[in-house]
């Protein structure tokens, strides 16, 4: 299965997926990292892993439609089947959505619909929520909306600082994203057979 991963920042989810032997053995091929921030740390991670990078910045385009069209032009010849968003800090518009209908997946660090949007971990921490978590979902035109694929809870410990909680949420994210992609690979392999 040929995928592109979209990311804007650190890229720990990108790396967790890219380093998974289980996923590559099951047929995952990461053809491209698409990044909208030229100085993002994720670019270095991709270079280390020898995964091609496409840096595409919104500020170089007149609008979001043409920005996404440039991404589509890059993805088409690579025959990308799924797009995995991993800390991609842009709302995806109809332009990309209509080209990859039901084939764009996102990860979000809360139990959606709670804390959609920015700073989800911080907001859950500051609200003293005893339970928070992670959601992986297909996207639609909203912010962190769209059909949910999987959710996992993360329990806040009494001793947690915001940073401890964040670390545990990220660990849960990495595990979950790998599992969801593995399930997708198995499902798709099944269909092909
Ligand atoms: C993750 O918490 C993800 O849920 C959110 O952005 C963060 C990206 O982290 N959408 P990283 O860049 O993968 O480390």
The closest-lying atom of ligand 1 relative to the alpha carbon of residue 12 is 14
Q: What is the pLDDT of residues 55-106, one digit of tens each?
A: 999 999 999 999 999 999 999 999 999 999 999 999 999 999 999 999 999 9
Q: What is the pLDDT of residues 94-143, one digit of tens each?
A: 999 999 999 999 999 999 999 999 999 999 999 999 999 999 999 998 99
Q: Is the pLDDT confidence value at 11 over 60? A: yes
The complex's ipTM? 0.98
Supply the pLDDT for residue 179.
98
- DSSP letters, the chain, are -EEEEEESS--HHHHHHHT-HHHHHTT-EEEEEEES-TT-HHHHHHHHTT--EEE--GGGSSSHHHHHHHHHHHHGGGT--EEEESS--S---HHHHHHTTT-EEEEESSSTTTT-SS-HHHHHHHTT-SEEEEEEEE--SSSS-S-EEEEEEEEPPTT--HHHHHHHHHHHHHHHHHHHHHHHHHHHHHHH-
Which domains are delineated in the chain? 2-108+137-151+173-192 (3.40.50.170)
Q: Is the pLDDT confidence value at 192 over 70? A: no
Q: Which residue has a Cα nearest atom 7 of ligand 1?
A: 87
Give the global pTM.
Answer: 0.95
Q: Is the pLDDT confidence value at 32 over 90? A: yes
Q: What percent of the chain has pLDDT over 70?
A: 97
The closest-lying atom of ligand 1 relative to the alpha carbon of residue 88 is 10
Supply the residues annotated as catalytic: 108
The closest-lying atom of ligand 1 relative to the alpha carbon of residue 9 is 12
Residue ranges around ligand 1 (CB below 6 Å)? 7, 9-14, 86-87, 107-109, 173
- The alpha carbons of the chain give a radius of gyration, in whole angstroms, of 16
Supply the pLDDT for residue 77.
98
Q: Is the pLDDT confidence value at 193 over 50? A: no
Specify whether the CB–CB gap between 43 and 35 falls below 8 A.
yes
Centre of ligand 1 to C-alpha 193, Å, is 34
Supply the pLDDT for residue 189.
67
Report how far residue 5's alpha carbon sits from residue 84's, in angstroms, rounded to the nearest whole number: 5
Whether residue 123 is annotated as binding a ligand: the answer is no
Whether residue 11 is annotated as binding a ligand: the answer is yes
Centre of ligand 1 to C-alpha 66, Å, is 25
Q: Is the pLDDT confidence value at 188 over 80? A: no
Supply the pLDDT for residue 190.
52
Among 124, 137, 134, residue whose Cα is nearest residue 172: 134
Tokens, residue 160: 């947690």
Q: Which residue has a Cα nearest atom 5 of ligand 1?
A: 87
């Amino acid at each position: 299965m040929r995928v592109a991963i979209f990311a804007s920042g650190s890229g720990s989810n990108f790396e967790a997926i890219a380093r998974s032997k289980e996923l590559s053995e099951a047929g995952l091929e990461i053809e491209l990292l698409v990044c909208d921030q030229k100085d993002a740390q994720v670019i270095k991670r991709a270079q280390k892993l020898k995964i091609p990078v496409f840096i595409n910045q919104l500020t170089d385009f007149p609008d979001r439609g043409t920005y996404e069209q440039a991404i589509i032009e890059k993805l088409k010849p690579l025959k990308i089947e799924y797009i995995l968003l991993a800390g991609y800090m842009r709302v995806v518009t109809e332009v990309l959505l209509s080209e990859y209908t039901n084939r764009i997946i996102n990860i979000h660090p809360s139990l959606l619909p709670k804390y959609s949007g920015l700073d989800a971990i911080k907001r859950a921490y500051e609200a003293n929520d005893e339970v928070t978590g992670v959601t992986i979902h297909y996207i639609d035109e909203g912010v962190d909306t769209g059909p949910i694929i999987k959710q996992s809870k993360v329990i806040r410990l009494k001793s947690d600082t915001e940073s401890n909680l964040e670390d545990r949420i990220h660990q849960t994210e990495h595990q979950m994203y790998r599992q969801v992609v593995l399930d997708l690979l198995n499902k798709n392999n099944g269909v092909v057979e």
